[in-house]
């Protein structure tokens, strides 16, 4: 085969042949440069430990420390020249460090490998993202609590199958999402506590013969302890999988809420008005106000789910310890983290800015025979009628009201007694939506008093 035909086979981008392809597939600097701050923090801790244990001199450690700070400054200022030929952030930093301080740079890598180095960097980066997720969730929960407190006694329809079921309160509906995002907060905190073990010092896979102090580096980097098994330390990506799992579950909650906001903001519902900051107009229809932020949050779920699935597939067949496949762990996590944080911030902004339309909520709360269950419950409680019989009577009355184009409270007492003679005028005290929600005083119920109790409980939990 001629050189010309060979180049044609490789294609335009890789006309230089297999060397260009290998460099492209092997390099990760295009994305792992995002871990520069974590990489330099890990190297500084490692150098300080090497000096403290007598593996390198104090002078070399000081030169390394100052040189790393210079590198970090260059990266932060945008003057650092990243090289694909140097593969990753670790080699890029080390090469530049050598240009700055010379020979001492070569001693930095004593007692460690890129395997434990990348695991440490990645853990530090994911830990930072978990902290950011915690902050985002707390802010969103506070915004929901404010909505719940303001509308603790505002009636609205509750739905099952997106059909009107029973009246609830606006505050109760907001508190449902507080519970959901509260579980997300718990998962984030659990994941952070579980992952907070340092891989640094595990070296390639077997540890090192140098007298290193892994407790010292773990403490310096804010880890609770060093990871207890060097094989596991370099090959573990559970922390990234847990991060993506927590992100995926939270994304489901964000998407469900976004879906409700899309529905509620329509002209047909008019339950909420979203602020102009989180809506856009139509390019052709001047009357429209589109809930774009909610729709985009709903779409972000696919990217986060995809990242979770992709990393699961990367890890599922890998033998211990490190394999190059694991280079594919970061892009998925980076993208999911970006979209999760953005979705949390956007949802918090929408919740803080949105206005619940109390009159529309109240009008809808009384539609669709929403107090039918209250009628049946009254018959059971007052008349001692078996629930199944009360259910049948109520169904008959609903059919009667529907045929007349009215709601249950609009039926006369005589109409009701025609179906069940025991019904008294007292029935009308439970048929109003206000009476209905006020009666739901069981723990976790929709009664305004219960809603305010839950708001107070959550305010105490998060220290708002």
- Is the distance from CB of 397 to CB of 419 less than 8 angstroms? yes
113 token code pair: 């490998």
Q: Which of 341, 343, 304, 342 is nearest to 131 (CA)?
A: 341
3-state secondary structure of 53: coil
- Is the distance from CB of 167 to CB of 158 less than 8 angstroms? yes
- Is the distance from CB of 177 to CB of 253 less than 8 angstroms? yes
Catalytic residue among 6, 275, 282, 367: 282
All residues at 6 or more sequence positions from 459 whose CB lies less than 8 Å from its CB, including other chains: 145
175 token code pair: 């508190």
All residues at 6 or more sequence positions from 3 whose CB lies less than 8 Å from its CB, including other chains: none
3-state secondary structure of 272: strand
Q: Report CA-CA distances (Å) from 168 to 131, 298, 370, 438, 445.
A: 34, 25, 10, 9, 9
Alpha-carbon torsion, ordered 174, 178, 179, 185, to 10 deg? 160
Q: Would you give the distance in Å from CA 459 to the centre of its chain? A: 21
- Catalytic, 161? Answer yes
Catalytic residue among 161, 283, 403, 412: 161
Q: What is the CA radius of gyration of the chain?
A: 31
Would you name the residues annotated as active-site residues? 161, 282
């Amino acid at each position: 085969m001629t050189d010309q035909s060979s180049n044609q086979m490789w294609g335009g981008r890789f006309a230089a042949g297999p060397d260009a392809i290998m460099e492209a597939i092997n390099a990760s600097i295009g994305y792992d440069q995002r871990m520069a701050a974590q990489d330099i923090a890990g190297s500084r801790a490692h150098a300080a430990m090497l000096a403290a244990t007598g593996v390198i001199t104090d002078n070399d450690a000081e030169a390394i420390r100052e040189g790393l700070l210079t590198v970090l400054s260059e990266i932060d200022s945008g003057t650092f020249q990243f090289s694909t030929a140097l593969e990753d952030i670790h080699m890029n930093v080390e090469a530049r460090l050598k240009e700055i301080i010379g020979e001492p740079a070569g001693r930095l890598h004593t007692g460690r490998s890129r395997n434990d180095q990348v695991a440490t960097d990645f853990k530090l980066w994911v830990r930072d993202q978990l902290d950011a997720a915690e902050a985002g969730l707390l802010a969103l929960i506070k915004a929901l609590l404010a909505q719940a407190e303001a509308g603790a006694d505002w009636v609205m329809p509750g739905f099952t199958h997106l059909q009107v079921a029973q009246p609830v309160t606006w505050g109760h509906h907001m508190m449902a999402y507080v519970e959901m995002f509260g579980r997300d907060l718990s998962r984030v905190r659990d994941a952070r506590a579980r992952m907070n073990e340092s891989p640094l010092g595990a070296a390639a896979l077997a540890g090192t013969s140098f007298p290193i102090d892994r407790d010292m580096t773990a403490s310096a980097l804010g880890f609770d302890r060093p990871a207890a098994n060097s094989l596991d330390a370099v090959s573990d990506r559970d922390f990234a999988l847990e991060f993506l799992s927590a992100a995926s579950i939270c994304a489901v909650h964000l998407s469900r809420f976004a879906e409700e906001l899309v529905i509620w903001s329509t002209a047909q519902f008019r339950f909420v008005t979203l602020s102009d900051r989180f809506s856009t107009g139509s390019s052709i229809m001047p009357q429209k106000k589109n809930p774009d932020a909610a729709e985009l949050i709903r779409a972000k779920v696919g990217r986060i789910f995809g990242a979770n699935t992709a990393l699961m597939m990367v890890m599922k067949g890998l033998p211990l310890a490190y394999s190059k496949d694991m280079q594919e762990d970061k892009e998925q996590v980076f993208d999911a983290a970006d979209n999760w944080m953005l979705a949390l911030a956007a949802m918090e902004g929408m919740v803080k800015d949105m206005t619940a339309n109390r009159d529309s909520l109240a009008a809808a709360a009384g539609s669709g025979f929403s107090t039918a269950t209250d009628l049946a419950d009254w018959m059971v409680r007052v008349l001692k009628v078996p629930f199944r019989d009360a259910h049948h009577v109520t169904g008959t009355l609903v059919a009667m009201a529907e045929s007349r184009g009215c709601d249950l409270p609009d039926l006369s007492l005589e109409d009701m007694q025609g179906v069940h003679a025991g019904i008294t005028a007292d029935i009308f005290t439970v048929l109003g939506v206000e009476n209905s929600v006020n009666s739901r005083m069981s723990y976790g119920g929709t009664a305004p008093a219960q809603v305010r109790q839950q708001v107070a409980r959550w305010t105490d939990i998060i220290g708002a």
